[in-house]
């Protein structure tokens, strides 16, 4: 790393387990604690999401899946295999839609900070 004067310090509190993880990772890297932290900062990305705005509407879709599962169990218990297959199809369609929306949510954070190299 480039030799430069550093005037600022950061203090943080860790649990015993977090400190053990920190020590293991920085010692394994062969870097000083400062250089290890600087590399971690430069190579990381922080993503901020608005869960309330983007995920809350999916609750309705997830509830529909639960309703379909209940209907699936009912039809299975009374031996109506054709309705069981139909419910499985409905669950699959709803699940695929929910998963697509979750993946789109994860691909589009409200704010993202990437490390500077």
pLDDT tens profile 18-58: 999 999 998 999 999 888 988 888 888 888 887 777 777 88
Same domain? 84 vs 56: yes
Identify whether 37 is part of a domain.
yes
Same domain? 55 vs 82: yes
Identify whether 7 is part of a domain.
no
Q: Is the pTM of this model over 0.85?
A: no
DSSP string, 31-86: S-HHHHHHHHHHH-EEEE--HHHHTTTHHHHHHHHHHHHHHHHHHHHTT-HHHHHH
Same domain? 32 vs 77: no
Same domain? 55 vs 100: yes
The total domain count for the chain is 2
Per-residue pLDDT at 82: 87
Q: For residue 106, give its domain range.
A: 51-111
Per-residue pLDDT at 6: 81
Residue 30 tokens read as: 């062969």
Same domain? 33 vs 70: no
Per-residue pLDDT at 29: 92
Same domain? 40 vs 55: no
- The gap between the terminal CA atoms of the chain, to the nearest Å, is 12
- Give the three-state DSSP class for 112: strand
- Give the three-state DSSP class for 4: coil
Same domain? 64 vs 102: yes
pLDDT greater than 60 at residue 117 = no
Same domain? 38 vs 73: no
87, 75 Cβ separation under 8 angstroms? yes
> What's the pLDDT band for 4 if we cut at 50, 70, 90?
confident
Q: What values do phi and psi take at 41, rounded to 5?
A: -65, -45
Write out pLDDT tens, residues 54-113.
777 888 888 888 888 888 888 889 998 888 888 888 888 888 988 998 888 888 877 777
């Amino acid at each position: 790393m480039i030799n430069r004067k550093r005037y600022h310090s950061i203090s943080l509190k860790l649990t015993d387990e977090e400190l053990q993880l920190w020590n293991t990772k920085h010692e394994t890297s062969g870097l000083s604690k400062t250089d290890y932290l600087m590399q971690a900062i430069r190579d990381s990305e922080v993503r901020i999401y608005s869960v309330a705005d983007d995920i809350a509407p999916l609750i309705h879709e997830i509830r529909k899946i639960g309703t379909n599962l209940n209907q699936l169990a009912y039809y299975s218990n009374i031996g109506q295999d054709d309705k069981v297959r139909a419910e499985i199809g409905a669950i699959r369609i709803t699940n695929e839609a929910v998963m697509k929306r979750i993946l789109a949510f994860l691909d589009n954070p409200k704010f993202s900070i990437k490390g500077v190299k």
